[in-house]
Structure 1
Amino acid sequence: MRKTVALCALLLITLMTGIVAAAPGVRVKDIARVQGARDNQLVGYGLVLGLSGSGDSDKSDFTVQSIANMLKSFGVIANMSQLQPKNAAAVMVTAKLPPFARPGDTIDITISSLGDAKSLQGGTLIQTPLKAANGQVYAVGQGPLSIGGFSVGAGGSRQMKNFQTVASIPGGAIVERDVSVQLVNNGSIALSLMQPDFTTASRISEAIDRRFGTISHARDAGSVVIDIPTGQSESLVAFIAAIEELPIQPDAAAKIIINERTGTVVMGSDVAISEVAVAQGGLTVKIVSEKQVSQPAPFSDGQTAVVNQTSIEVKEEPANLIVLPATAHVGDVVKALNAVGASPREIISILQAMKAAGALHAELTLM
């Protein structure tokens, strides 16, 4: 039953892949982005307070020092040897600053424990500056944490959901500085493909030229340069929006993605095979151990004992030798593999062997 369900799931995934590939097209904005409009990573070091004894231990010297420094900034001089940080935790705060973010906007932040805290549940992040790679502060984070789970225990038993040492604050940071975005360079803009491909880049350029005239060219597999037409520089946003809405039929190399841990196989629409013979069989070894009572012979002064009786059964399935015909359609590939009667994990081995034999015309990628 599991084998049938798994093979049906494999067939459904591959057929869905073929349907997507046969779609009329996708928008340019779904496969490319305008160069210059990008996220920027932010990071900061801070303290989480208000924990119920689940914070860092006194072995985390940096937590004790951070608490002392924080109190000192408020005019309180504390003896570090007397500080007990069990209700506090040192954390690293990370965030992404999106393009065109302006001062006063809010962004989401992620808080990760740095010391040996057991849980951040119920804590509050105190004001934490978030810096970019250039060392300048672009946002400040603060607020109550959300861990999206719980951790409760009593009498030596504990139930926990989700990681308790990682939390988030939606909209927990306020942007203090914006990042200048330069979209135009020498009178032109450039598109960066999310999946570089020469054919896709050429098709994007052709679609733009059909709509606006000969104003673009594919610089390489990952970018398309577009000259801004006369009169469009004043309405650049509308011009870029019109380009992003152009329908494109992206191209992709034949590829098979394999996850051996879960037995998942996903095939692209252009996967093809040459005629090849495949033999598939299985060897099953079954070992059964049973406890039996051994009775001594009469008048032998022996004792009754419990012994283990082990039996071994070996069963070898007959090999199925099937010739898979040459095909260039992913649905036919799946039908041919299903005809062998193999499980998903056996299909993975068959695909790898077919690739080694030169009969599978696709790139195998292991996850």
Structure 2
Amino acid sequence: MNKFFKIITLGLLLVAASLETAQAARLKDIANIRGVRENQLIGYGIVVGLKGTGDGKNEMMSKSMVRMFDKLGVKLEGQDFASKSVAVVIITAKMPAFGKAGNPIDITVSTVGDASSLAGGTLLQSPLRAANDEVFAVAQGSIVIGGDPKDAHLTSGRIPNGATIERDMTADFATRKMYRLTLINPDFTTAARTVLTINKELGGHYASAKDAGTIDIITPFSYENRGVELLATIESIDINPDMKARVVVNEKTGTIVIGDKVKISKVAISHGSLSVKVGEGKKAVDEKVAVLDTGVSVGELVQALNKMGVGPKDLITILQSIKAAGALHGELEVL
């Protein structure tokens, strides 16, 4: 067995009786509630206090410093500002779905000029805006560069709790008459199972599937003006999501991930000195010949080929050929 050959086979050792239970997931982990999401924020700022690793002579930095000093009452009109202790940066952050004024959030700071390092720098007060150009947070603080100093990416750093939310994200969920769920991986079977499970939990026909990825839920009378309790009840429900049969291979690393539903029909394979036959046939004596039953899973095929010393590149080629012949029942995704 090639020690660099990594195979992850999902579900091969699970018995059919326990498969459904093992695959159960909370609804909150496979679906999103429409309107409940993070919001991206972005801003432009100045980092000072750098130890000779700043932008130096940079028009963008110069104009930014002149503008900043002007707001502070110091006039530098007509002068160029050049300093290796200053750098202009882009600031990014994610605002939680129900972020409230006064709550802190983490931010990431990245250079946009010629600065070689932000280590030891301090970000000056900078507004963070949403896509609608409205300011939702203000950032400031000392930059932290993580990782090994020798291998660290010095032109980007983080400031934990480096920004403070200035405006609430308005979202009235308590009084809604209807809620919409969207499945992360749309699937008709999963949507149907979800509707049946929700209706069973709520004791009535309150949920309905609009398509493979959209489920609408009408607020029951018993949960009127209690939307938070309703969603807490729904999102904790266990659902057995269905999935397409799929094989994912990474040619660079030799990693193969195989779903338990992937099957192979009757097929004969010849690859160099190797021969594999799936279906009818007698067991061959030659160690380079393998005979497998019809309907064998890809996992069993991989195990048989692995015992015969087949390397990752050859195995990936064989899987691609089986798929091209129409004998592999499932999607084959090559990364």
TM-score, normalisation: structure 1: 0.81
Which residue pairs with 1:269 in the alignment?
A: 260
Q: 1:88 to 1:338 in 2, by over 3 A?
A: same
Of 103, 107, 112, which aligns to 2:105? 107
- Residue 131 (1) aligns with residue 120 (2): no
Which contiguous aligned blocks of 4+ residues in structure 1 show a shift greater than 3 angstroms?
15-22, 79-82, 182-186, 318-325, 328-331
Q: Which letter does structure 2 place at the counterpart of 1:168?
A: R
Deviation at 1:337, TM superposition (A): 3.1
Q: 1:62 to 1:17 in 2, by over 3 A?
A: farther
Q: 1:240 to 1:82 in 2, by over 3 A?
A: closer
Q: How far apart, CA to CA, are the structure 1 residues paired with 2:301 and 2:192?
A: 30
Moved more, 183-192 or 26-35: 183-192
Q: Which letter does structure 2 place at the counterpart of 1:25?
A: A
Q: Say what the alpha-carbon RMSD is for the aligned residues.
A: 2.3
Q: How far apart, CA to CA, are the structure 2 residues paired with 1:127 and 1:88?
A: 14
Which residue pairs with 2:206 in the alignment?
A: 215
5 Å matches for 1:258-337? 258-281=249-272, 320-337=288-305
Deviation at 1:49, TM superposition (A): 0.7
Which residue pairs with 2:39 in the alignment?
A: 40
Which residue pairs with 1:97 in the alignment?
A: 95
Deviation at 1:184, TM superposition (A): 7.6
Q: Which letter does structure 2 place at the counterpart of 1:264?
A: T
Q: How far apart, CA to CA, are the structure 2 residues paired with 1:364 and 1:348?
A: 10
Q: 1:355 to 1:182 in 2, by over 3 A?
A: farther
Of 144, 147, 168, which aligns to 2:145? 147
Deviation at 1:139, TM superposition (A): 0.4
- Any conservation in 1 of the 2:101–2:164 contact (CA below 8 Å)? yes
- Residue 205 (1) aligns with residue 195 (2): yes
State the Cα deviation string for residues 252-311 of structure 1 (Å, max 9, x = none): 0011112112111111111111122222338xxxxxxxxxxxxxxxxxxxxxxxxxxxxx
- Any conservation in 2 of the 1:270–1:328 contact (CA below 8 Å)? no
Deviation at 1:81, TM superposition (A): 4.7
Of 222, 225, 229, which aligns to 1:231? 222
SS at match of 1:110: strand
Which residue pairs with 1:355 in the alignment?
A: 323
Q: How far apart, CA to CA, are the structure 2 residues paired with 1:25 and 1:330?
A: 23
Q: 1:121 to 1:221 in 2, by over 3 A?
A: same
Which residue pairs with 1:298 in the alignment?
A: none
Q: How far apart, CA to CA, are the structure 2 residues paired with 1:129 and 1:146?
A: 20
Of 221, 224, 236, which aligns to 1:245? 236
- Any conservation in 2 of the 1:37–1:183 contact (CA below 8 Å)? no
Q: 1:28 to 1:330 in 2, by over 3 A?
A: farther
Deviation at 1:106, TM superposition (A): 0.7
- Any conservation in 2 of the 1:279–1:321 contact (CA below 8 Å)? no
Q: How far apart, CA to CA, are the structure 2 residues paired with 1:211 and 1:104?
A: 38
Q: Which has the higher strand share?
A: 1
- Any conservation in 1 of the 2:248–2:332 contact (CA below 8 Å)? yes
- Any conservation in 2 of the 1:276–1:325 contact (CA below 8 Å)? no
SS at match of 1:200: helix
Q: How far apart, CA to CA, are the structure 1 residues paired with 2:99 and 2:295?
A: 51
The structure number with the bigger radius of gyration is 1
Q: 1:166 to 1:190 in 2, by over 3 A?
A: same
Moved more, 319-328 or 238-247: 319-328
- Residue 72 (1) aligns with residue 40 (2): no
Indicate the percent of aligned positions where both proteins have the same amino acid.
42
Of 98, 114, 118, which aligns to 1:116? 114
* Unmatched runs of 5 consecutive residues or more in structure 1: 152-159, 283-317
5 Å matches for 1:180-195? 180-183=170-173, 187-195=177-185
Q: 1:211 to 1:225 in 2, by over 3 A?
A: same
Deviation at 1:365, TM superposition (A): 1.5
Q: How far apart, CA to CA, are the structure 1 residues paired with 2:226 and 2:259?
A: 40
Q: 1:52 to 1:33 in 2, by over 3 A?
A: same
TM-score, normalisation: structure 2: 0.88
- Residue 54 (1) aligns with residue 49 (2): no
Q: How far apart, CA to CA, are the structure 2 residues paired with 1:175 and 1:18?
A: 49
Q: 1:221 to 1:183 in 2, by over 3 A?
A: farther
* Unmatched runs of 5 consecutive residues or more in structure 2: 274-285
Q: How far apart, CA to CA, are the structure 2 residues paired with 1:26 and 1:360?
A: 28
The alignment covers a number of residue pairs equal to: 318
Deviation at 1:189, TM superposition (A): 0.6
Q: Which letter does structure 1 place at the counterpart of 2:250?
A: N
